[in-house]
Amino acid sequence: MIDVLHDDAALLAVAKPEGLATVPERDAPADCLRARLEQMAGARLLTVHRLDKPVSGVIVFARTAEAHRALSGQFERHETSKTYLALVHGVVGPDEGGSDAPLREFGSGRSGVDPAGRPCRTRWRVLLRLPDCTLLEVVPHTGRRHQIRAHLHAAGHPLVGDPQYGDRVEAARWPRLMLHAARLQLRHPVDGATLILQAPAPESFEAVVRAAGA
């Protein structure tokens, strides 16, 4: 069951489950979030932005071409506000921090810090310190590929359950990637009103936090 956060004539917002691709993948084109929602809504939906397959949380699809143009423009101009929850390895000392390191995409599908990369800005603050992990609230001010994952890895605090940027053996101990898109603020594409969409962390996320604190 996919939780609907907002639904009107212009857009559909839902809480994406972890482990489900946003759009069709090459090796599994038949099943993805958009296809499931189109079947549920009985109408075509247009992709505005994406969440990585292992990431859960708020995501928006447009119902019309006009809404798609308006919403896509907001994301491209970084006029939206996104907030994530992230559980990372290690105890983060400062209550607040971040990175402005430029990121470049590599052929492996990873992104990494590179002086020749694209400008990038991520900020985070500590929500909870556990014996060997830290729960962070993370705000990406730009929208680069794997931005949060790459910046936290470069800071010495890779995400729990992340085999791409963390230790593969350690990541295999955990049931999911610990990144959740908790909040998205944007302007409604029709009337311009501020729309705040929120998705509580799913039980799969909360269970890992509890286990990490045990």
DSSP letter at 146 equals T
Tokens of 190: 């029709």
- Tell me the per-residue pLDDT of 108-127, one tens digit each, with 9 for 90 and over: 788 999 999 999 999 999 99
Tokens of 55: 């990431």
**Which residue of the set 3, 27, 31, 52 is catalytic?**
52
Please give the pLDDT value at position 91: 97
- Tell me the per-residue pLDDT of 143-162, one tens digit each, with 9 for 90 and over: 899 999 999 999 999 999 99
Burial 165-182 (b: 16+ CB within 10 A, else e): bbeeeebeebebbbbbbb
Determine whether 52 is an active site residue: yes
Please give the pLDDT value at position 209: 98
pLDDT higher than threshold 70 for residue 103: yes
Tokens of 175: 């049931």
The amino acid at residue 88 is: V
Q: Taking a C-beta distance cutoff of 8 angstroms, is the pair 120, 100 a contact? A: yes
Q: How confident is the model at residue 29 (pLDDT cuts 50, 70, 90)?
A: low
CATH of the domain at 66: 3.30.2350.10
Domain, as residue range, for 52:
3-213
| DSSP SS3 for 72 | helix
- Tell me the per-residue pLDDT of 60-77, one tens digit each, with 9 for 90 and over: 999 999 999 999 999 999
Distances (CA, A) of 178 to 23, 63, 159: 21, 30, 6
Single pTM value for the model: 0.95
Average pLDDT (85-106) is 97
Domain count for the chain = 1
In whole angstroms, give the CA distance from residue 10 to residue 111: 33
Average pLDDT (171-195) is 97
